[in-house]
Amino acid sequence: MVVIGEKFPEVEVNTTHGKMKLPDHFAGKWFVLFSHPADFTPVCTTEFYAMQKRLDKFKEIGAEVIGLSVDQVFSHLKWMEWIKDNLGEEIQFPIIADDRGELAEMLGMIPSGSTATARAVFMVDPKGIIRAIVYYPAEVGRDWDEILRALKALQTSDKYGVALPHKWPNNELIGDRVIVPPASTTEDIKAREEAKKKGEIECYDWWLCHKSL
């Protein structure tokens, strides 16, 4: 089972868009891989509909999306057809047909005592490194807006070398401001005091400082 900080395993997968090699297919881009328990199931259908409605928002921040379940390609294709005909949304992102469960096992997507994948989410950066992993049980659907928010936060952290507070950019304490990484030396503490005097940062204490981007 992979963990945060590891390289996404190199695999060739069969998808609704043809064969792909991961993570190479998305080299230089962020991508979100998410699994669902099964095609033609109620909660999964609501998730796919909602993801397609937000797909442009993921693409706007340079992220691709790919789904996965242990169903076969023909099942994915028929389900996609049903969603288009009955719900009015054409699923445009690829879906992996992991019918042997090999990738799902490799990524730890299959819960104990089950043969279907959990609702797992893997956020992978442009270097193919797994940066975030989220799991939901089969009976609870995901919030794609939160996944999008977390992805934006990761990108902001990488770009500016900062940390992001709860529910950023709508935090109850500091709004859309970002957190300055904790001081690790006495010199860092002194530097923070100077930055605070200059109005460059604000602090509740030297270990909890924040600033605007």
Q: Which residues are catalytic?
A: 44
> Is the CB of residue 89 less than 8 Å from the CB of residue 52?
yes
**CA angle at 120 for the pair 1 and 118, rounded to the nearest 5°:** 90
The burial class, CB within 10 Å (0-12 / 13-18 / 19+), for 96 is buried
Q: What are the strands, taking DSSP E only, across 79-201? A: 95-97, 119-124, 130-136, 178-179
Return all residues near 135 (Cβ < 8 A) that are at least 6 apart: 118, 119, 120, 121
Distance CA 213, CA 210 (A): 10
Sheet strand arrangement including 119-124: 18-22, 11-15, 95-97, 63-69, 30-35, 119-124, 130-136
- Comparing CA positions, the residue from 79, 125, 71 lying closest to residue 97 is 71
